[in-house]
Every structure is written in structure tokens, then in C-alpha cells.
Amino acid sequence: MRIPIGRQKLSYLFWSLVIFFLMAGPWAIGIFAQTPEAATNGEPAANMSVWAMRRWSPYVVGFFIGVLSWLAFLLSDKPIGVSSAYAKTSGMIETKIRGPAVKEMEYYRQYVPRIDWEWMLVVGLIIGAFVSAQVSGDFRFEWVPPLWEASFGYTWAPRLFTALAGGIIMGIGARWASGCTSGHGISGTLQLVVSSWISLICFFIGGIIIAFIIY
């Protein structure tokens, strides 16, 4: 969805961003000192570079995601979202197979199959995660996460099937809801959109129920 923002609203958004960053930035950065030692390879957070930490404080990450959302609105007039990039990718693949007629489909008129900044955001997430894992020394190939192994043993095939099935269900749900956890949970709730708050509540309820069922 595209949200038109006039010059006056852009001005309000920009100065709100500046004021909020000046007020909350130092507080958010200070929370790094409270990061558990488990996230810092056993070393006290005060003695370790933030770039070498295996996990950042969720408060700090949430703060910067909010700043990123504001910048997305400010610079592109569009909210941050991820699931639409996958829809566009499927459209680009289908276009290569079936030809340009795919772009005339009603769905792909709304989600034009092309590489844009949202698509590049997903690429950036993958690259950023890889770089972060390398810098923190936490990169490794892992077929079965420890939590799954503790509950079901080292059985990669069921784990792979469960992950694929969950991804497919999440993808279908994101398309039906016109947004994913990023589009609704971050961008939509930031705008106080009622449907996004309902979606966010359902995300948590569904996640908690499934976690209890599986584990």
C-alpha cells in the first residue's frame, strides 16, 4: 500500500524523528550495557564492542527499527514490508517462464514483478545477517536448531518439512492479510491502523499456541 504524504506531514515527520532520536537515542544506546553475557560470548558487555555481540538488546533493536520505519516513510512514502518482495519474486520467475502476459494478471498489476527498494531490503537483510554472524563469530551451518533437537532429536527431515510448511502457511496468510509481521506488526501499528493491531494480536496468539503444540 502507498501512503501519500504531503510536504507539511513530511516536515512534521522529520522533526518528530529528530526530537525523538535526540531524546531516546542516548537512553537506547545505554541499554547495551545491560545485555546478558550470554549474548556477548561470555564477556561483560562493557568490555566488548557492540559489533561483536551475538545478540543486541531487543530494546535497542526495536528503537532502530522504529527509526528505520520513519526514514522509509520520509524517503519513499511507503511503509516497510517484506512479504510483497516474495510475491514480486514469484512474478519475475513466472514472467521468465510464461512471458510478459503474466504482468497483465490482476494480482501482478498491484504487486508489479520488478526489483525495487523493498526487494533490495530483503537482499540487505540476508547480507546483513551474514555479515553480523561473521563479525560476531556466530556463523555456522545448522540443519537442526538446538530447541528442536532437544525435543525431537537430530531429525533434519521432519524439521525441514515443518519449516517449509510453516513458511508456506505464513506466506499465504501474509498475502490474505495484505501484509506480514513487518507490514502490519511494524508499519501498520506505527500508524495506529486497527487491522494491523488485530493482525499483530493474532500473530502472537498463533505463535504461542503453535509453540506449545510443537514444544
pLDDT digits 0-9 by tens, 105-160: 888 888 888 888 888 888 988 998 898 888 888 888 888 888 888 888 888 888 88
User: Is residue 174 one of the residues assigned to a domain?
Assistant: no
- Asked if residue 93 lies in contact with residue 36, where contact means CB atoms within 8 angstroms, the answer is no
Burial label for 98, CB within 10 Å (0-12, 13-18, 19+), is exposed
Pair (89, 105) in one structural domain:
yes
Q: Report yes or no on 69 lying in a domain.
A: yes
The pLDDT-based confidence of 11 (bands split at 50, 70, 90) is low
pLDDT in tens, 74-90: 777 778 888 888 888 88
Domain annotation covers residue 173: no
Shared-domain flag, residues 12 and 53: yes
pLDDT at 25: 56
Both 39 and 103 in a single domain?
Answer: no
End position of a domain, from candidates 107, 123, 140:
140
Q: Which range has the worst mean pLDDT, 13-22, 29-38, 150-159? A: 29-38
Q: Please state, in angstroms and rounded to a whole number, the distance separating the CA atoms of residues 123 and 131.
A: 12
* Residue 9, φ and ψ in degrees, nearest 5: -65, -35
Instruction: Look at residue 174 in the predicted model and tell me its pLDDT.
Output: 84
* 129 within some domain: yes
Statement to judge: residues 72 and 105 lie in one domain = no
Give residue 14's pLDDT: 62
Within-domain flag for 202: no
Looking at the structure of the chain, the number of domains it has is: 2
In-domain check, residue 133: yes
- Helix H, strand E, coil C: the string for 15-67 is HHHHHHHHHHHHHHHHHHHHCCHHHHCCCCHHHCCHHHCCCCCHHHHHHHHHH
- pLDDT value for 156: 85
Same domain membership, residue 113 and residue 74: no
DSSP secondary structure letter of residue 184: I
**Residue 99 belongs to domain spanning:** 80-140
13 pLDDT band, cuts 50/70/90, is low
Nearest to 160 by CA among 144, 149, 139, 173: 144
Q: What percent of the chain has pLDDT over 90?
A: 4
Report yes or no on 33 lying in a domain: yes
Closest CA to 190 of 181, 149, 157, 131: 181
Q: Is the pTM of this model over 0.75?
A: no
Residue 204 within a domain: no
